[in-house]
Structure 1
Amino acid sequence: MYGPGILARSMSAAAPFGKSGAEWQYHPRSDRHSKIACWGVLFDLLQHCPTLVRQIEDGTIAFGINHEMKDFRLDRKKNLDLVLCTPRSPSADAPAPPVRSFRALVDKYGILLSPEERALLNTLPDLPAAPVGAVHVALEAKACMTEHMKARPRLYDELNSSHATIHGNSDKAIAVGFVMVNMAAVFRSPTARELSKHRQPDVTEKVIEKVKQLPRRASPKEDGFDAMAIVVVRCQNDRTPVELVTDAPAPQPGDIFHYDAMVQRLADLYSWRQQ
């Protein structure tokens, strides 16, 4: 699987944010890292889900970015980072997609691919962007980069409301969660004057424990995420390269929260529900 490596490599390059144009590898008010994470999930999904590839070739599937989903039961709204959907016929009130295709997101979000990854991308069908009709998969990516203990309740609440909104909109939709946790001992925050120091690996372990408390479902009749991954990185946010952490406390192969397990589960669920 390539997604976590693509995320770490792409975040290693700083990008401008805000009116000042100051460049940061990570900024809490930017969704760049979330979009790169979701792009990586779809990139890996395309390699492991023949059903999705066939639908792209048939022109029956598309994607949407920052799609607003409404919980029909509670009448609440939430924007999801990326969705796979049945394309809706264009209309006057439907905003034009920000890009035309999945490949176009590489340049839009500054996604850095290795020669191997770029060659592989060129062998895959190009998923089109389109106005969103029925949602089949909704991806939500969140990050906990600093002040881990303070961030735990907010992180939990935001993710919990995501799957609730997705399934309040459509019980058949597959809700996917992606959580990135920073294991760096120090962090340069764009919103703080002093360098933040973290008690590692303790605080990373505490965040992972909290994320694992999120409800998960094994059937459409239950509440929770259908698939979820936790990825651990070291990001000091000072222009040193972002490192992907594969040793514990990061989920290990065979763990249901391991990235590879999430993608494979998503591929299996998608193929099954499209029958």
Structure 2
Amino acid sequence: MSDHQSHRKVRVGVQLQPQHADWAELRRAVVEAEEHGVDVAFTWDHFYPLYGEPEGKHFECWTVLGAWAEATSRVEIGALVTCNSYRNPELLADMARTVDHISGGRLILGIGAGWFEKDYDEYGYEFGTAGYRLADLAQALPRIEKRLAKLNPAPTRKVPVLIGGGGEKKTLRMVAKHADIWHSFGDAEVVERKVGILDEWCASEGRDPAQIERSVGVSGDPTATGPRLRELGVRLFTVSLGGPHYDLGQLRDWLAWRDDVNAAAPSDG
């Protein structure tokens, strides 16, 4: 299974959670992460903090991305992940195209079905069931693709779509049909199982698994978990950091590991 991704270099991302921080701190964090050499800077799409004080400071995802597009110059940016329920699919496509242009072609369109009930209740969205939200995502993805193809001006590139989640019957099938990047959480045992199922969906959808970059959320010592995940074909490793003071120490450890791995395996490029 790892053969699918052997041609890709290891990349490291950071998810800068837009919670408990002032804007200046969040902006400074993305600029510093870029200076340290991170490959992708993600935010998330919620309206309230997920950790710590539940009514704490919080900023909205896509306006953050628009500002990050101006504050940075090299790093790719995106949401890990946009909640499909919060915006009309055509509007989301237009927003993504706009941030793509502002950033000079650095946007990743990360999307998922949504799950945080408080967001839905407070902002007046229908929470429904997990099945309802997944079905909504399944019908939104082709609408997003269709709108991206119609917009004038067109996106600067084929905007990469990242789909987050590990649901084996629905989410991974959507990944096989629509995604350029698949993001998951879990240890190597979980990832190995999901990778196998994703490969099966790719086969049934007529998709080459090598077209889908594998991404996993990570923490701790990269030498402890990174090598096995890399064997499974994971190539994007993302560290999550919360405010108000974004400590980039752990991120720097993963960046150093990335550089060592890529230097030792030039054939991956």
- Shared fold (TM-score greater than 0.5)? no
Report TM bin, short chain.
0.3 to 0.5
Report the structure, 1 or 2, having the larger strand content. Answer: 1
What TM-score, normalized by structure 1, do the two folds share?
Answer: 0.35
Structure number with higher relative contact order (C-alpha < 8 Å, ≥ 6 residues apart) = 2
The alignment's TM-score, normalised by the length of structure 2, stands at 0.36
Greater helix percent: which structure? 2
